[in-house]
Structure 1
Amino acid sequence: MGDAGTDNIARVKKAYKAWDACKGGDCSMWHALADDNIRLNPIGAEAAGLEFTRPGAGREQLTAYLDSLRDGWAMRYFEPEIFVADGDSVVMFGHTSWTYKATGKTATVAIAHLWRFENGLAVEFTEVFDGSAAAAAAQP
């Protein structure tokens, strides 16, 4: 792993630590990582409560993604466990737990994120998690 991979892992680890510490109350760490034209590729589920998982591109879409997530869900924790870098890509594997505000039900899921960087900024973000567990928590 070269210097870029090491730097990217350090920056991503710092962002996840801040994300867990604020329980999703602040999104500035993600905006600091993102290129203006970041592509978002969330892979969750097409179900009520998971509207935030729609793909998109750009800072405005990143803001909409995060706002939609935080409007519907309250973070209990976000625990990254493994980070792997390959060139300009960083993968994080971990676990997270969120409570759907409308039902009070909690979904605790394994989660994987793939970040791809160019010139020190994230140009692509892919998220994979168990959408069925999250959708179940969103059902009354």
Structure 2
Amino acid sequence: MKPTSVFLLAFLLPALPASAQEIKVHLSPTCGCCKAWVRHLEQAGFTPRVVESSDMAAIKRATGVPDKVQSCHTAVIEGYFVEGHVPASDIRKLLKDRPAALGLAVPDMPVGSPGMEVPGVTPDKFETLLVSAGGQTVVYGKH
């Protein structure tokens, strides 16, 4: 390919923000809060690839999400799982820090977490947990 062709190709392709990263999101096709979390990721510059599943338990087993930190949806990015309504800022921090861990989790579905906002309701305080091999957890973010 000629250098001018490469330039034209690069010019014509849609530009993605430098921060755009693909994240694979497994969710139930009937879950509205999961779709709201996907919108949160998009607004933060991620590129979600949604995979609808009627057997989320199998997805969680396959990705190694311990029972005690499970929530409604499970995402995978760069070898880590992201379980539940984890803020995009915590995912960015995870990808920057690259800790020896399985992933991040916001157990349950705290009101006020991304995708779980309820107008007129005071948000819950919640924590993002870093999950290591064996299922041990430490607080990775407080919200």
TM-score normalised by the shorter chain: which range applies?
Answer: under 0.3
- TM-score w.r.t. the length of structure 1 is 0.28
Question: Higher strand proportion, which one?
Answer: 1
Please identify the structure whose Cα radius of gyration is greater.
2
- TM-score w.r.t. the length of structure 2 is 0.28
- Greater RCO, 1 or 2 (C-alpha within 8 Å, sep 6+): 1
